[in-house]
Structure 1
């Protein structure tokens, strides 16, 4: 598997990440230097939930500000990346070949789960971007199968970016930087990292039962489900590399992973912030 084509899982953090002086922002800014340029990017975002896998098929992506109560400057940010309707059709075909029903959306743009990390990593917005939704009600196994279905894209110059959050308990979020990471966040993240590194796919699929504090870190699953798409797209038994680990606001782990056989040279451990 080519280095540039390795599926990625990126934690996108709060919508304000582009304005924050934190390790995760710096990691995303420097990530493309370790990757040859993709011909297109497919983003699987935690912030688009649908009944069946749905792909946006647009010529140009509008920027969706899918949040409220943030500083006005955030609403002025745009990421007008071109779309790729032909790639959208290709994804629909691959899902159909795997027996997975799907749909297209000819109006939707990019939510902040897509444009926040892309704006930091590829600020010129000149790479075509297609977005794929998640189905929270169907769980990790379904998303692993979605990833396996779209695996051929890896050999077609498409970078698969699964965008979510390694931990995501917003009920414990206090909106303050500098908070210490609670033990229940650390213990979950350490368990999940070990399971990924050891290739324990069955344990990962059962993480809500096996991982410590799983349901506290993920009261709902949508922010972890994109990771299973990236895992599936890499192929059975593919090695996993942690590219980055840091924390924002105490309860949000910002870890990032690459899935596949080659090694990406980048900073793996960031400061807490």
Structure 2
């Protein structure tokens, strides 16, 4: 592997408040970016762009979308003005088509917080082009994994590929107020099972997500877990960049795939 090859990443982006209160994750994302060569561009699959068809953002300058409600006013003032890159979007569409995927360009999609929140901590200058791809919820885990495999060669062109979701994500179970809550056993067991399988290169066990212990309690819906399938497809060697829990059961892990 040459020095210019960037990894694939899975980032747990957490609550929108991460932008104002970085906790442990913000510094971890900053350190990660400092330890990587500066990307030529970034591709992100976010939990917050669920779609029927596979889509790729082709806007030159996407708007920053505050796709949440009920948070402090200063959160809605944050902008992440990184440019898009239509040429890269076309390249992504070409690779997907060659791999048998039907995908479409979307020139109007704004940039959701699953994209700009982690990048705010990694690349605060917002000077690296960013292309977002949608999460096609009618696809199987194996197909989403194959999307990651299809785009993996772009890593050799200094393009950083990110799946942005959360290793656990049950908002009803979170401790929103008060002292930091104890991590419940059902959350730690789920997280540890997934990590153990990836540590042993048993990606098939993770793609067989219905069989993971406590999966329904950790992910009542799958959209925050599915970007992990995408990230897994980008590289064979798994490592943990960061691991913590927020508000009790919200897993904030960051994983790297080389």
TM-score relative to the length of structure 2: 0.96
For the residues of structure 2 that align with 1:165 and 1:123, how far apart are their CA atoms? 21
The answer on whether the counterparts of 1:139 and 1:221 sit within 8 Å (CA) in structure 2 is no
Shift of 1:73: 0.6
Q: Provide, for residues 81-113 of structure 1, a one-character-per-residue CA deviation record: whole Å limited to 9, x for no partner.
A: 011000000000000000010011101121000
Corresponding position of 2:200:
198
Corresponding position of 2:171:
170
Taking only aligned residues, the RMSD between alpha carbons, in angstroms, comes to 1.2
Structure 2 matches for 1:49-88, cutoff 5 A? Answer: 49-88=50-89
Change (3 A) 1:80 1:245: same
Corresponding position of 1:118:
119
Q: Provide, for residues 98-142 of structure 1, a one-character-per-residue CA deviation record: whole Å limited to 9, x for no partner.
A: 001001110112100000000111000000000011022323111
Corresponding position of 1:265:
none
Corresponding position of 1:253:
251
For the residues of structure 1 that align with 2:53 and 2:154, how far apart are their CA atoms? 20
- Does residue 230 (structure 1) correspond to residue 231 (structure 2)? The answer is yes
Shift of 1:25: 1.8
Corresponding position of 2:215:
214
TM-score relative to the length of structure 1: 0.91
- Does residue 30 (structure 1) correspond to residue 28 (structure 2)? The answer is no
Change (3 A) 1:12 1:21: closer
Corresponding position of 1:42:
43
The answer on whether the counterparts of 2:166 and 2:224 sit within 8 Å (CA) in structure 1 is yes
For the residues of structure 2 that align with 1:48 and 1:102, how far apart are their CA atoms? 14
The answer on whether the counterparts of 1:56 and 1:104 sit within 8 Å (CA) in structure 2 is yes
Q: Provide, for residues 195-217 of structure 1, a one-character-per-residue CA deviation record: whole Å limited to 9, x for no partner.
A: 011011221111221x2101110
For the residues of structure 1 that align with 2:140 and 2:57, how far apart are their CA atoms? 22
Aligned length, in residue pairs: 256
The answer on whether the counterparts of 1:15 and 1:112 sit within 8 Å (CA) in structure 2 is yes
The answer on whether the counterparts of 2:203 and 2:232 sit within 8 Å (CA) in structure 1 is no
Unpaired runs of 5+ in structure 1? Answer: 261-273
Q: Provide, for residues 164-212 of structure 1, a one-character-per-residue CA deviation record: whole Å limited to 9, x for no partner.
A: 0010011212313511110000000000000011011221111221x21
